[in-house]
Each structure stands twice: as C-alpha cells, then as structure tokens.
Amino acid sequence: MGDPRLGGFGGARGVTRREFLKRVALAGAGAAALSGCGGLGGGPPERGEEVSLTVWALAAPTEHWRADGPAEAARRVKRWKVRVKPVNDTSGDWANYKRKYTLAADAGEAPDIVVSGHEDIPVWSQAGYIVEVEKYLDRYPEFDDVIERLWKPASYGGTVWGVPQDTEARPMFFAKPKLEELGWSSEEIEALPERIRRGEFTLDDMVETAVRAVEQGVVRRGYGYWHRPEEGGDFLQYYVAYGGRLYDEGRRKLVVTRDALVEWYAFQRRVVEEGITPRNYIGTDFEVWHDTVSHGNALFFNGGIWNWADWAQNYVKDLGGQDYLFRTIGYALQPSGRRGEEGLTLSHPLVYMISSEAATGAQNQDVAAAVIAKTTTPEINTRHAVESTHLGILKSQQDYGPYQKDRFLSSVSYMVDYAFYQPNDPNYGPYFTALWDNMVKAENGESSPQKAADDAVRLMRSEIPDHVIFE
C-alpha cells in the first residue's frame, strides 16, 4: 500500500487558526463544505452494556487486520459487551480516505477508531476530532509492551494521541540478475546492503552503476532507477541523505536546508538526464510500477517493505511468490548522498486514534481504548505484520515464534535503527507541498535545481514564515 498521506494547502495567511486547521485537514476537499459538530450521546456506557463500535482503516487485502484486528480483540474486552464493525477501505487513496474522515468528524459521524498516519495527529487533535490516549496508558499493561521509540511519532505537544498500529522501512531494492549480468559476483551482491549501511556505496555509485547497465544493454534506457511514481514522503530520504534537516525539536519548528535541497533536486534531475529514469516519469500508474519492479525489469527501485507481500501475492505468485522474490530481488537501506555516512530509511508508523465525542456523537472513548489495548498484543499484531510484511510494534514480538520465523521481517528489522520520521507539525502539509511541487519541476526540467530550491524557500517564507527555520 502506498502512502502519502500528505495534503497540500496554500495561503495560510489571512485565516483564523481554526479555519487553517480545517483546511489542512480537508487537504483540498473544500473548506466551505465544513459544518458544525453533530449531536452528543446520552452518556458513557455502563459496565456490562452492549456497545457497537466502528473502525476505519485504509488497507490493501494483505492489510485487512488493521480493522479486523480490533474486531477480533473486542471479544477479549470484559467490562462491556463490545462488537466492532471493521471497515477496510481498499481504494488505496489516502487523500480521499482522510477527506472522508474529516468530513465525517465535522458532521459528528466519525468512526469510533480511525487508523491513519501519525502526521495527522497535530491537525486532527487541534481540530477536536480525536482525544488524548495518554490517560489510558496506565490502565492497560498491553501498552507497556510497545517499543518505546514508537511513542514519539504517536505524540504531539507532549501528549500521546495515538497507539502504534504498525511501522515499516523503505528500502532500496535491486534486481540481482541484472547485477550479475553487469559482472557482479554473488558475494558482491550479497555485500551490497552492508556497504550501503556503512556509507561505502552512495547515491552517486547507484547512478553510475545504473548508467553502466543502460550502456551495456543490461536494462532498457530509463530502467536503471525507478523511484516512487507519485507524491509521497519517500522522497524526503534524499533530502536527508544530502544533509537536510526536517525539524528542530528544541524550537519546535520545521527546518529547510537550502544546500541540501539543491543537491536533492539535482539528484532528481540527474537520474533523468543520465537516462536511468524515464522522462515525465512522475505520474506513472502504480500498477505498471509494481509489475515492472517485481519482475526485476528495473535495476534499482525504491519502495516499502509492505510491497514484498503485495508483490508475492498479486504479481509474482505464479513464479513462486516470496521464493521467487528472495532469488531475484535484494534490499538495503537508502544510500547516503555522502560517502562515509550511513544509509538511512524513512519509517512511517500508522496509529490507532480514538474519535472524540464531538466527532462521533457518542461517549464510547473508554470502550475504544479497551479494544485498542486488546488489539495491541503479539498474537493479533503479528497476524498483521506477517501477512502484510510490516514491522511489529511490540517488544515481545522479537521473541514471538510466528514473528521470529518470518524470514523477510527478520532480515529488515535492523533498518528501524537507521530510520527517521516525518515531523508532527500542523504546518507540515504546506511545507511538504512546497518541497514536492518544486521537486517535480526540477525532475521534469521545468526549473533548474537551484531555482526550484529558491522557489520552495520563497513559498515557505510567504505562507508559513513563522513556522520554519531557514538555513
């Protein structure tokens, strides 16, 4: 399942903060469609009372446990008789999914529990759509098992607002047979992930290898390197790889590093000019992308670990599924842009969030917290992790048999030690939009990397000047 989960919004000036938050939350749905909150419920459920909850998740078929997990866990809640209606949205359209949630919340018809990216917490919490979950952490021992560092992206303003549902890494994949055709030995291919981890194989090395593959006819022109074909946070990996900073924790502000921005945009333009990425590639249908890379027809390609399960089930099942993938595709951290600096990856935890009384018209928040607690167990979370190839979120999963036995998850678990997260900041939407729009112009040759970087900075200075550190 792709992600991207990033909405654009321009013109932050001249509006109230409340209006700003709603416009960011809607991400293009049209602020005029917003209305007031719905009616309130008649009080919280009593002990033993029957309670019906709804859970929304955006999920590919391999990710159905995002909503089915709470439905399963509801039977383990003792205080109330809980039934959960799971709603797995299989559209793959994050923007529309989030738009539906914000519209439902404004109408007082939101689901009791919603699964979404951690970056939604600042806007949804300030808009009053979700409630803090910090007060529930001491009530349920299940939450003590969550990997400590995952609470950070689930928090905002010093308070925990979400419970981690899954996390992941976004590797650089490579086609082993293509490297063999280039003359690499099996030992050299197997050593590539470690070389990238150590900073011995950089983005420059990747480009040069891909260029040779095109020149020698190992891959077709334009098939040396395929990045994500549409908008997404994945591209920030290259900004960070060239030394870019996203956020200053001490000053609680976003950061834009112009020199790193120029290098990132120059990289995006170079891969086109060198003939390893097709011209006008952005916008390529994801189905075409999956089919091409899963069959090893591109040399290097960026993706997420969750792609592995999708490819095995939906693209190369007839060739042997995961066995075929292990034979033909390798994976590593994203290479650094600077020799000697370690590889890296973006991790993007999804979180369970509890909708407020105003957003749902009901006082089921305590019940929702109990269901999420019973979902946060090795048994239920591992079903999701193994079936969808996402990383587990619990300390105990490292020793949990079904998780331990999964070859792919075991081999990528180390990547979270090199991961960074997108910042939880209400102004992240317009910040990312400025970066993305100008990256596209640089890659397509509509702007030079320098001009595109200057235009991105200029846009931030105009729209969110008080929320960004310019360096």
- pLDDT of 393 reads 95
The helix (run of H) or strand (run of E) holding residue 294 is helix 286-294
Q: Does 213 reside within a domain? A: yes
Q: Does 7 reside within a domain? A: no
For residues 314 and 75, is the Cβ–Cβ distance under 8 A? no
Query: In DSSP terms, which residues pair with 130 in a beta bridge?
Result: 355
Q: Does 361 reside within a domain? A: yes
- pLDDT of 27 reads 41
Q: What is the mean pLDDT of the chain?
A: 91
> Is the pLDDT assigned to residue 361 strictly greater than 70?
yes
- pLDDT of 43 reads 85
List pLDDT tens digits, range 50-107.
Answer: 999 999 999 999 999 999 999 999 999 999 999 999 999 999 899 999 999 999 999 9
Helices (H) and strands (E) in the chain, counts: 19, 16
For residues 102 and 23, is the Cβ–Cβ distance under 8 A? no
Q: Which two tokens stand for residue 194?
A: 């470690």
> Do both 77 and 210 map to the same domain?
no
Query: In DSSP terms, which residues pair with 81 in a beta bridge?
Result: 50
Q: Which two tokens stand for residue 110?
A: 């939101």
> Do both 150 and 57 map to the same domain?
yes
With CA atoms as reference, report the closest residue to 163 among 388, 346, 365, 23. 365
List pLDDT tens digits, range 219-234.
Answer: 999 999 999 999 999 9
- pLDDT of 336 reads 98
Mean pLDDT of 129-136: 97
> Do both 191 and 333 map to the same domain?
yes
> Do both 368 and 458 map to the same domain?
no
> Do both 132 and 83 map to the same domain?
yes
The CATH number of whichever domain residue 181 belongs to comes to: 3.40.190.10
- pLDDT of 11 reads 30
Q: Using CA atoms, how far apart are residues 214 and 247, in angstroms rounded to an integer?
A: 38
pTM assigned to the model: 0.86
List pLDDT tens digits, range 373-409.
Answer: 999 999 999 999 999 999 999 999 989 999 999 999 9
List pLDDT tens digits, range 259-279.
Answer: 999 999 999 999 999 999 999
> Is the pLDDT assigned to residue 24 strictly greater than 80?
no
- Quick one: CA dihedral 275, 280, 286, 288, positive or negative? negative
Query: How many CB atoms within 10 Å of residue 425?
Result: 21
Q: Which two tokens stand for residue 174?
A: 């490579």
> Do both 219 and 338 map to the same domain?
yes
Q: Does 370 reside within a domain? A: yes
End-to-end Cα separation, the chain, in angstroms: 34
> Do both 220 and 332 map to the same domain?
yes
Mean pLDDT of 165-179: 97
Structural domain range at position 402 = 50-168+348-417
Q: Does 38 reside within a domain? A: no
List pLDDT tens digits, range 30-55.
Answer: 332 222 233 344 689 999 999 999 99
Report how many domains make up the chain: 2
